[in-house]
Amino acid sequence: MKLIRFGKFKKEKPGVLIDGKRLDLSDHFNDWDYDFFNNNGLEKLKKITSRKKKLTEVDDNVRWGAPVARPGKVICVGLNYSDHAKESGMPIPKEPIIFFKAANTVVGPFDDVIIPRKSKKTDWEVELAIIIGKDASYLTSPRAAVSHIAGYCISHDVSEREFQLDRGGQWVKGKSCDSFNPLGPFLATRDEIRNVNKLNMWLDVNGKREQTGSTDKMIFNSSFIVHYLSHFMTLEAGDVISTGTPPGVGMGKKPPRYLKEGDVCELAIAGLGEQRQTCIKSK
């Protein structure tokens, strides 16, 4: 299944994407949120969509929202691609490097990216996101972690490098600006993705290819990350985990280049659709 949300910002409704059509499920579910995922919601949804009951189609002009409701946590993994670590001139991590983004960074896949006030180094990062499907704590193995994953989607982990690296060493400051996590366009449940460890991905800025990569270059794969994190915190249903980015970020260019007003980012991951954002200045 492919879960979507639609409507005005902070007033989104739940739906599904079937045969290229967005269908409204708001008569059956409140939202794709903690209660939905942690109470066998995916199985209930599967039964409803399999009945062939007519569902209302969403108009093409209606905004795409993030495919999950505002998460309790947005957890990120740094330097998780071997080729990106090489690009950054940093050693391969022995354990996952973990940091957080504020949960209110999450926006829709086609919403504008807001360049913060006084920003000089707003950067792009295409990433695979894991959506947690049920609470997880002290999981016994990566294999056991798989059943706690609801599915996957695209995450654009926008970053302000000066805030992140030059303002006291707190990564969260460069990761948590408004609009810094476009998510979607849809959440693909696990059964939709044949091999999550071998998905091609790319990101363009103004039509020029900047990032090309594959999840087969991930140092720590999705199930390992979920298993690992569960030993440091309880992962809750609906939480989002961004799993790192391949090479080609602006910071790694020679010379570095960063996003400016009017730039357009387009990004995709195989099986998970595409995103598109225009960069605008903060008010």
- Read off the DSSP letter of residue 146: G
CA distances to 59, 106, 168, 201 from 214, in Å:
34, 23, 32, 6
- Cα–Cα distance measured from residue 272 to residue 184, given in angstroms and rounded to the nearest whole number: 8
Contact 150, 131 (CB under 8 A): yes
Q: How far apart are CA 58 and CA 6, in angstroms?
A: 8
Q: Domain coordinates of the chain in residue numbers?
A: 2-64, 69-281
Q: Taking the CB of residue 50, how many other CB atoms lie within 10 A of it?
A: 9
pLDDT per residue of the chain (283 residues) written in tens, 0 to 9: 999 999 999 999 999 999 999 999 999 999 999 999 999 999 999 999 987 678 999 999 999 999 999 999 999 998 899 877 777 777 888 999 999 999 999 999 999 999 999 999 999 999 999 999 999 999 999 999 999 999 999 999 999 999 988 887 678 999 999 999 999 999 999 999 999 999 999 999 999 999 999 999 999 999 999 999 999 999 999 999 999 999 999 998 999 999 999 999 999 999 999 999 999 999 8
- Side chain identity at 100, as an amino acid letter? F
69-281 maps to CATH 3.90.850.10:
yes
* Residue 50 to residues 17, 54, 58, 76, 145, Cα–Cα distance (Å): 13, 11, 19, 35, 27
